[in-house]
Amino acid sequence: MESTRALRADLFDPASLAALGRIEIVARWIVDGFMSGLHRSPRKGFSVEFAEYRPYQPGDDLRYVDWKIAARSDRWVVRQYEEETNLRASIVLDVSRSMAWSGALMRAGASGAAEPRGRDATTVAQLTKLEYAERLTAALALLLLRQRDAVGLVRFDERIRTAVAPRARNGQWRRIVASLEEPGAGRASSAADALSQAARLISRRGLIVLVSDLLMEMEEVQTAMRGLRALGHDVTVLHIMDPAERELPGGGEAVFIDPESELSVPASIADVRAAYKKTVDEVIAEWRSMFGGLGIGYEIVSTDAPFGVPLRQAFAARQMLP
């Protein structure tokens, strides 16, 4: 299993993986690894067509091994299927200033000498939430495109920065990747407008994936989501969170400043940590409840988790994977 894990980029440490190349390269590795690790197609049956063979890899479901070929040629291959689909998906990416933040320094200060050898503070989840989300978005788009789905992208902060209409044609993914490199990081997150824009870009029922840290007003998001659901769209929310936002590591006294609203909160970290964690859990529960009530998938994505984890979280439940 170790050798398999080593070959699969989707299971790499995200920060280490991101340091190896540009977004599109990293995204390809992620998707390749992710695809190779799939155990079964959730959509098999008459609507699924055989696509190709590929060599068997440890971890593959033995049900898809072609035993006839194995008997004839002593080669183990697995069958892969291609779904006939007309899914149109739009990824809505939050690029506000709050996303351009990493808690690496806070975590490094908290862990100190307790960190294992060879992993200094600079290599600990140095990806900002936005960097993580961009790579995740690229990988997600590539994954969908490989399923012959049409994929679009909407980037937003206090306004919509980018709107790429969903397409399944060649070059769509490159357009999306190019769009990811455009500037953003505005002072606010206007998710409602972005979600409406995404809905407009999808002419018929489709999939909308919101990738955001959800540091925004819940009522606005709820209103927008209700509209999307009313239009029949499937919606999935990937809630990007830095581990430091979950745990509030470190110690001492500090004034905490929200880079978007410039809200400043003085606090003694050690004193308030427990209450903060409790509050974060409550907020997550509120989001989960709200999205659950609307039939919307909701997953917490930690920026120190390998990219394969959120990909699986996002789609395994919706059975959208090949």
Partner 1 sequence: MSFLAPFYLLLGGAIAVPLLLHLLRRRIGARLEFPAARYLLRAEKENSRTLRIRNLLLMMLRIAALLAITVAAARPVARWLGAGHGPTALAIVVDNSLSSSVVVDGRPLLDQFKGMARDVLSSATPADRVWLVTIDGHVRGGTPAVLRDEVNRLEAIAGAGDPTTALARAASVVRAAGLEAKQVALLTDGQRTEWQGTPSIADAQVLVYVPNARPPANRAVTLAEARPTRWTPRGSVAARFLSHDSTTYRITLNNRTFTRGTAAPNEEVVVHASPPERGWLAGTVELEPDELAGDNVRNFAVWIGSAPGVNGLPSAGPFVKSALDVLRSSERVVDGHDIAVTGADELSTLPALITAPLDPVRLGAANRALERAGIPWRFGTRRAGDAAVRGAGFEGVNTAVRYDLVAQTGAVAETLAVVGRDAWVVAGPRYVIVGSSLTPDATNFPVRASFVPWLGSVLTERLVGEPGQVLETEPGARMPRPRWADGFETVDGQRTPLGDVLEAPSRAGTFFLTRNGRRVGALVVNGRPSESQLEQFSAKDLSDRLHAARTLVAPDASAWSSMAFRGAARRSLLETALLVALILLATEAVLIGVRPRRMA
Binding site for partner 1 (CB under 8 A): 97-99, 101, 106-107, 110-111, 114-115, 213, 215, 243-249, 251-261, 263-268, 270-276, 278-280, 283, 302, 304
Closer by beta carbon to partner 1, 1 or else 113: 113
Strand partners, 163: 154
Closer by beta carbon to partner 1, 42 or else 259: 259
Residue 29 CB, shortest distance to partner 1, in Å, is 25
Q: How far apart are the first and last CA of the chain?
A: 23
Residue 255 CB, shortest distance to partner 1, in Å, is 5
**Exposure of 174 in the CB half-sphere (CA atoms within 13 A):** 3
Closer by beta carbon to partner 1, 78 or else 99: 99
Sequence-distant (6+) residues with CB within 8 A of 261 are 187, 188
Residue 91 CB, shortest distance to partner 1, in Å, is 21
Closer by beta carbon to partner 1, 110 or else 231: 110
Say if CB 146 and CB 35 are below 8 A apart.
Answer: yes
Sequence-distant (6+) residues with CB within 8 A of 67 are none
- Cα 80 from Cα 40, distance rounded (Å): 9
Residue 106 CB, shortest distance to partner 1, in Å, is 7
Residue 269 CB, shortest distance to partner 1, in Å, is 9
Tell me the two tokens of residue 11. Answer: 């299971």
Closer by beta carbon to partner 1, 165 or else 214: 214
Sequence-distant (6+) residues with CB within 8 A of 6 are none
Residue 135 CB, shortest distance to partner 1, in Å, is 19
Closer by beta carbon to partner 1, 183 or else 266: 266
Closer by beta carbon to partner 1, 134 or else 245: 245
Residue 15 CB, shortest distance to partner 1, in Å, is 13
